[in-house]
Amino acid sequence: MDNRLAVLRGEAFSRRNQFPLLLGLIVLTGIYLLLPLGASYLLARELSQYGYERVIVQLGYPGIEGIHVPVVSLQQNLGGETLLMSLTNVEIQYSLPKLVRGHVDSVILPDVAVQVLTTHRQSADEAGDVTESEEDADDELPWSFLTVNDLLRRLPILPFDELRLDRVSIFREKATGPLRKVTISGSVRYREGEVNGHLSFQGQNTVSYGLTISGSSASTWSAVLVSQRLHTVPIVSWESQAHSSGEQIQVKGRLDVNVREFAPFIALLVPIGPDLGKVTGRVTVYWVGTAAADTALTTLWRDPRTRLEGGVTASITLPALKGIARDIAVAYQGTFTGNATEVVWTLAPGVPLEATINSQTLFFHEVLRNIVPRGDQPIRIEHSQPLHGAVYWSESPVRTVMASPVRVRYGRTPESLVVEAEASRAEWKGGELSTLEGTYRVSGSLPRTVAETLFAHEVSADIQGSLRIKRGRVQGTVSSSSSLKVGQIEREALFIPNATFQWHDSFSVQCEVAAFRCSGGPATVGVRIPSLRVMGREVHVAQGLLTLQLAEVAGRSWHTQGKFSLQGVSPNLLPWKVQPTDWNVRFLANQAGIKADLHIETPFQDRLVFAEIDQPLMTGEGMLHATIGPVDFDGTEHKLGNLVTKMPWPLEFVEGRMTSTLDVLWVGGWGDRREEFRVMSGSGTVVAEKLSGRYEDYVFKNANTMVTIRAGGPNSAVTVEPAQVSVASIRSGVEITNCSARIGGAWRLAHASPTLELSNVRCEAFGGSITSDGWVVDHTRSQYQMTVSLHDLDLAKILNIEPNRGLQGTGTLNGTLPIVINPSGITIKDGLLISSPPGGIISYTASEDSLKSFAETNAELHLVAQALSNFHYTVLRSGVDYAENGTLLLTARLEGKNPDLKTVPPIHFNLTVQEHIPSLLKSLRVVEELERTVERKFKRP
């Protein structure tokens, strides 16, 4: 009974607990089934909080001895690149007792794919956010809880005994070289506090590389990277050892790099191109550091007890850095010491860097970029003395100082410009140059763009001076030994074969780099322009001087003022020749335009020409207003021959005044539109007042006129209207008075003489007048003609030219003279003189001896002499011919009688008179000169 009751009670208890057990079993089974999914979700969420994106985690069901992870995939933004990582079929093997302690036996990664792809650059805001989060994270890092003494402790227990990599594929899109894509395999083992491992990796078509590592503490490590060829070649060898000496810890280390063998790895970081076989060199770094054992790692470099010293030797040759430089050679040897506030370094004398660099990669200002040589240019940095410097890393921003002379040479000759600089001291704050002191020299040919700005074929420079930069301000000088040569300047009508500018004294410049505001001056520059051509005419210049009083630049605005002087300016105006003159130009220029005034002086005329020039740069339209004179002539120093020493006409001014004005408007040649230069309008006025002088043997007095001219084109001038010219007298043995005419004409500047058109010509002579309707004087023609009319000429005054011949007469004459002028001289053919009615009287008084001789030898001649002693003529007609040699031939016919000879009938005379006029005029001039000399000598005061 009792047994039966016990059985019934057991069955009842079993029925009461059957449901909870079943429910518990179902719950445990559900948890087991949901465990991979839940754990995968939680792990993916955790990774997302660390900045990973597109996280995919798939965990398998945990087993007694391990777990299988089918897929782990994630992505992270690295700024300019994106990291993609994928792990498949990961095996984690463990034993339950070790797993409870957080330790596994091994982690096996059969297939890992890592890709680093190029993406758009991260924005500034994003970068700022990341930096802020990183700074916040730094405060929670575990390094703040570790001290230097902890570096001597054995490595902490790693969460695995073995990490095995079957195949890890790494690809970086930005990298170059054969290691752009690398496959890695190997294992890392942890035994009794020591880590040992060996990894093999290989790129595309490369040998296999082996990396062996061994370490027992955070400060005691060794690593050797070798290439697994037929003969093993070490590539990188790194060794670090730590020792304790009580309160201090000393760490010694050494790093050796075979650069030639390391070339594929360099190509992973920088684009050195495909010529990896040209990479050579070796780098050796050794160091010894001491620190207090109780110093936290986060404050290690701020602790005053921390010390570091060591040395580095580097010799590296790289074929190229793609798009940046090529043929790069780096070689230096030096030592360094450091503490909590600074690192002081010294480099032995040598050439730290030689390369051929692409100028487009240099950070030049826009103005400097147009000056420095473009394309690939060699650069060389050297120092003949030990180079000392320091980095003050406790300051914010970090300050770097270089306190020894360094010489930099950029560019090659003779193809381009060479820039040489020697910095005696330099200082950087952060990445910005804050202080620089040194000298510079710029020599060679400037780029084509600079020459084109000056309208020149080539420009070469040899400019040197000093330079100082401090707190964003630049102070520089251009020394007196600097020079600039400009070759073949061509601009419209101007051509300068060559010009040389030589600084006479130092020229200082001050600049504010941030605002791009510069000012300079004063400066004096000698200018040598041996010759130039203006509108086809050659001009010689003895010497020039440019005085720059001030020059300022502020952004796109600029301002300059100064003076430009040219001495001994002598234009070649053949057949004209002018006295050398001195030109002084004062100018004021800015981005709006140029204003200048020009003074031209001679030894005999302080102000020969004064001109004002206004040239706007925005519109390209310019204006000139010039005044020539007034020029006063006095016959001594101030006469035309002292200004114009040679001209096509033998002309001289000895008295009177001349004044001229000139106004010119043009367009083009300047400004943004850069139109072709052309003269829009031009006009001028020439005023002559009471001019007296000489033309050949003709002396003239009191000449007056006012001529207005205008531009007929870029190289010609014409008179606006014929000008009225008056001359009080013209004398050449015979005096002609009260002359007047209207003169117009045109002058092509390429020709030596203008073309003149004379009209309404009128003069008074011999009691009558001489007129002409006009003629054209054109030097391009072989000859030109004119007809002169003679009115009411007094015969008595004509015969009085030579009173010693005993011939007198009365009456008036009229006539015409056809005159032809050619290069050989003047000719008159078929000229005619006719007496006016009723005629006149001709009286010839012969000497008694002549009459007696005529009576004894020739009765007819004696009768003629008697008839001419008081001959009353009714007709006097004479033909006039004048030859080029100066011979005048008069063929005269006289009709009349002598009333004293009543028995003699009327007589008709046919006379031929021949006279050499130049000799006659010369003799008359001699007589006049003698008379004036006697008068001046015996004239009473």
Measured between alpha carbons, how far is residue 398 from residues 259, 401, 433 in Å? 30, 10, 12
Q: Tell the burial category of 242 from Cβ atoms under 10 Å away from its Cβ (0-12, 13-18, 19+).
A: buried
pLDDT of residue 809: 85
pLDDT of residue 323: 73
Tens digit of each residue's pLDDT (9 = 90 or more) over 127-147: 444 444 444 444 444 445 455
Joined tokens for residue 292:
């207090």
Percentage of the chain modeled with pLDDT above 90: 14
pLDDT at 677 over 70: no
pLDDT at 461 over 90: no
Q: How many CB atoms lie within 10 A of CB 635?
A: 12
Joined tokens for residue 418:
């060479």
Region of poorest pLDDT, from 202-211, 348-357, 545-554, 812-821: 202-211
399: nearest Cα among 452, 344, 472, 348: 344
Task: For 642, list phi and psi in degrees, rounded to 5.
Answer: -80, -20
106 contacts: CB under 8 Å, gap ≥ 6: 91, 92, 93, 160, 161, 162, 163, 164
Joined tokens for residue 158:
């790693």
Alpha-carbon distance of 862 to 854, in angstroms, equals 5
727 contacts: CB under 8 Å, gap ≥ 6: 700, 701, 702, 703, 704, 739, 740
Region of poorest pLDDT, from 624-633, 841-850, 852-861: 852-861
Alpha-carbon distance of 856 to 430, in angstroms, equals 133
Tens digit of each residue's pLDDT (9 = 90 or more) over 250-292: 888 899 998 888 877 777 677 776 777 788 899 999 999 888 8
Beta bridge partners of 600: 583, 609
Alpha-carbon distance of 38 to 59, in angstroms, equals 9
pLDDT of residue 660: 92
- Give the length of the chain: 941
Helix (H, G, I), strand (E, B) or coil at 25: helix
Q: Average pLDDT, stretch 388-394?
A: 90
pLDDT of residue 619: 72
Angle subtended at Cα 605 by Cα 601 and Cα 611, rounded to the nearest 5 degrees? 45
Alpha-carbon distance of 928 to 734, in angstroms, equals 10
Q: How many CB atoms lie within 10 A of CB 265?
A: 19
> Measured on CA atoms in the order 480, 482, 486, 491, is the torsion positive or negative?
negative
What DSSP state is assigned to residue 826? E
What DSSP state is assigned to residue 121? P
pLDDT of residue 816: 92
pLDDT at 928 over 80: no
pLDDT of residue 309: 93
Alpha-carbon distance of 418 to 404, in angstroms, equals 23
Percentage of the chain modeled with pLDDT above 70: 79
Average confidence score pLDDT of the chain: 79
Tens digit of each residue's pLDDT (9 = 90 or more) over 164-199: 888 888 888 877 767 778 888 888 887 766 778 888
Task: Determine contact, residues 110/134, Cβ cutoff 8 Å.
Answer: no
SS (H, E, C) 689-745: EEEEEEECCEEEEEEEEEEEEEEEECCEEEECCCEEEEEEEEECCCEEEEEEEEEEE
Task: Determine contact, residues 661/628, Cβ cutoff 8 Å.
Answer: yes
282: nearest Cα among 233, 249, 223, 325: 233
What DSSP state is assigned to residue 296? B
Indicate the pairing of strand 66-77 with strand 807-809: unpaired
Region of 281 on the Ramachandran plot (φ > 0 left; ψ -120 to 50 alpha; else beta) = left
Task: Determine contact, residues 183/201, Cβ cutoff 8 Å.
Answer: yes
Tens digit of each residue's pLDDT (9 = 90 or more) over 230-241: 566 788 888 888
pLDDT of residue 937: 38
Task: Determine contact, residues 890/879, Cβ cutoff 8 Å.
Answer: yes
> Measured on CA atoms in the order 689, 693, 699, 705, is the torsion positive or negative?
negative
Longest Cα separation, the chain: 226
CA 165, chain centre distance (Å): 62
Q: Average pLDDT, stretch 441-469?
A: 81
Task: Determine contact, residues 436/467, Cβ cutoff 8 Å.
Answer: yes
pLDDT of residue 927: 41
pLDDT of residue 405: 92
Q: Average pLDDT, stretch 818-838?
A: 86
Alpha-carbon distance of 467 to 477, in angstroms, equals 7
Q: How confident is the model at residue 124 (pLDDT cuts 50, 70, 90)?
A: very low
Task: Name the pTM for this structure.
Answer: 0.65
Alpha-carbon distance of 284 to 236, in angstroms, equals 10
Q: Tell the burial category of 92 from Cβ atoms under 10 Å away from its Cβ (0-12, 13-18, 19+).
A: buried
Q: Tell the burial category of 139 from Cβ atoms under 10 Å away from its Cβ (0-12, 13-18, 19+).
A: exposed
pLDDT of residue 414: 58
pLDDT of residue 751: 67
Alpha-carbon distance of 404 to 387, in angstroms, equals 5
pLDDT of residue 506: 87
Alpha-carbon distance of 141 to 23, in angstroms, equals 45
Beta bridge partners of 774: 759
12 contacts: CB under 8 Å, gap ≥ 6: none
pLDDT at 791 over 80: yes
pLDDT of residue 871: 84
Helix (H, G, I), strand (E, B) or coil at 449: helix
Helix (H, G, I), strand (E, B) or coil at 117: strand
